């Protein structure tokens, strides 16, 4: 079996790189074992123009949001699925300091942030709320639909090998690589936390973080809106189901879900909501990022034919489409990759 590109991993990064390779007619195969606990498969899917408690504009937000919206819609049309929805985020304030901070940010960033008058429609939903802020536009990517639909497309086109990638079986040749019965000219690693196993990792300030989230049932909470305070509530496609999270843990003893996170999060929900909350599922996964919180994109200048498309961290849904396009344009036309994202910055 011969191909131009072999992609390792079909999370959000591998999916978008596969999409842009196909768009430009570049032959490729994807190896992915379908591990259900991967960070992409457990992610909430939020694309937020602001970040952190201080509500500063997300890196490259003015470029990322319009590009992502257009590309997710294009992918959705190709797959005959709705994979992205525009949403407003309602931020719930419980103290005056939070309102003052948000108000300062509104004056600095009026494109995405707006102060809202007190909405009496929310009085029956929340406890101890004294005001609201609005973040708009934001987008919600339907990760389960997106990844499953692209996987189905890859399988239909005989482009998916559903197996665990064993790096010890990869053999380098003058003209490329061979892996079992596959011959390829280039290999690109999109395998998230699996990148830690590669030999060049000692040069990269990787920062894996653990994220935990819950799936809960909240009858009566309007699902056309995203709600935030210290937690984020993202509506799922199923009636009354919500994704709640997520934590960002720099140090952790286990990769599995913890009782302490579940108890703390359920307590916080009961203190925030007046509606009944039922726990449905608990999730945990390890994301791969860098200490500088920038992705790893590009072909390795010292290892011919080896590329990396990884390290998206918590912003994978917005970063992956944008930088997948940059990587493919770099391969085809030698166009520049953003200097803060290019892999070779660590060489």
pLDDT band at 291 (very low <50, low <70, confident <90, very high): confident
Least confident of 14-28, 74-88, 105-119, 215-229: 105-119
Helix or strand run (H / E) with residue 186? strand 182-189
Distance separating alpha carbons of residues 86 and 302, to the nearest angstrom = 42
Q: What percent of the chain has pLDDT over 90?
A: 81
Q: What is the mean pLDDT of residues 16-39?
A: 95
In the DSSP assignment, the letter for residue 5 is E
3-class DSSP state of 134: strand
Strands 84-93 and 56-57: unpaired
Q: What is the mean pLDDT of residues 157-174?
A: 95
Distance separating alpha carbons of residues 34 and 9, to the nearest angstrom = 9
pLDDT band at 199 (very low <50, low <70, confident <90, very high): low
DSSP string covering 66-88: HHHHHHHHHHHHHHTS--EEEEE
The rounded mean pLDDT for the chain is 93
Domains of the chain: 2-43+145-206+291-346 (3.50.50.60), 49-140 (no CATH), 209-287 (3.30.9.10)
Q: What is the mean pLDDT of residues 15-19?
A: 98
3-class DSSP state of 207: coil
Question: What's the chain's Rg over C-alpha atoms?
Answer: 21
Residue 198 has pLDDT above 80, yes or no: no
The predicted-structure confidence for 251-289, as pLDDT tens digits, reads as follows 999 999 999 999 999 999 999 999 999 999 999 999 998
pLDDT of residue 118: 64
pLDDT of residue 202: 64
Residue 37 has pLDDT above 90, yes or no: no
Q: What is the mean pLDDT of residues 220-242?
A: 96
Give counts: helices (H), strands (E), the chain: 7, 19
Residue 158 has pLDDT above 70, yes or no: yes
Residue 121 has pLDDT above 80, yes or no: no
Residue 120 has pLDDT above 90, yes or no: no
Q: What is the mean pLDDT of residues 195-200?
A: 73
Distance separating alpha carbons of residues 57 and 54, to the nearest angstrom = 9
Q: What is the mean pLDDT of residues 107-117?
A: 89
pLDDT band at 308 (very low <50, low <70, confident <90, very high): very high
């Amino acid at each position: 079996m011969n191909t131009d590109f072999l992609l390792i991993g079909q999370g959000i990064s591998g999916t978008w790189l596969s999409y842009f390779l196909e768009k430009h007619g570049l032959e490729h195969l994807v190896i992915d074992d379908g591990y259900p606990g991967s960070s992409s498969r457990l992610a909430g899917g939020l694309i937020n123009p602001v970040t952190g408690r201080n509500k500063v504009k997300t890196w490259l937000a003015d470029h990322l949001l319009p590009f992502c919206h257009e590309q997710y819609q294009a992918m959705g049309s190709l797959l005959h699925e709705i994979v992205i929805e525009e949403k407003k985020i309602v931020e719930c304030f419980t103290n005056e300091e939070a309102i003052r901070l948000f108000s300062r940010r509104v004056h600095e960033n009026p494109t995405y942030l707006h102060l809202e008058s007190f909405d009496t429609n929310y009085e029956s939903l929340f406890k101890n709320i004294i005001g609201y802020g609005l973040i708009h536009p934001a987008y919600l990517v339907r990760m389960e639909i997106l990844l499953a639909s692209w996987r189905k497309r890859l399988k239909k086109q005989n482009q998916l090998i559903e197996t665990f990638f064993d790096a010890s079986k990869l053999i380098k040749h003058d003209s490329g690589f061979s892996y079992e019965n596959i011959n390829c000219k280039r290999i690109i690693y999109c395998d998230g936390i699996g990148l830690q196993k590669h030999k060049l990792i000692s040069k990269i300030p990787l920062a894996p973080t653990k994220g935990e989230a819950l799936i809960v049932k909240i009858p009566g909470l309007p699902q056309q809106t995203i709600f935030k305070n210290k937690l984020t509530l993202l509506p799922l496609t199923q009636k009354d189901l919500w994704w709640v999270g997520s934590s960002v843990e720099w140090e952790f003893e286990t990769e599995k879900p913890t009782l302490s996170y579940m108890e703390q999060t359920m307590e916080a929900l009961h203190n925030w909501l007046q509606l009944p909350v039922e726990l449905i599922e608990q999730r945990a996964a390890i994301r791969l990022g860098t200490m500088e919180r920038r992705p790893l994109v590009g072909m390795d200048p010292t290892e011919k034919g080896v590329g990396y498309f990884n390290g998206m961290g918590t912003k994978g849904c917005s970063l992956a489409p944008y930088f997948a396009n940059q990587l493919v344009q770099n391969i085809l036309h030698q166009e520049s990759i953003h200097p803060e994202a290019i892999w070779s910055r660590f060489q």
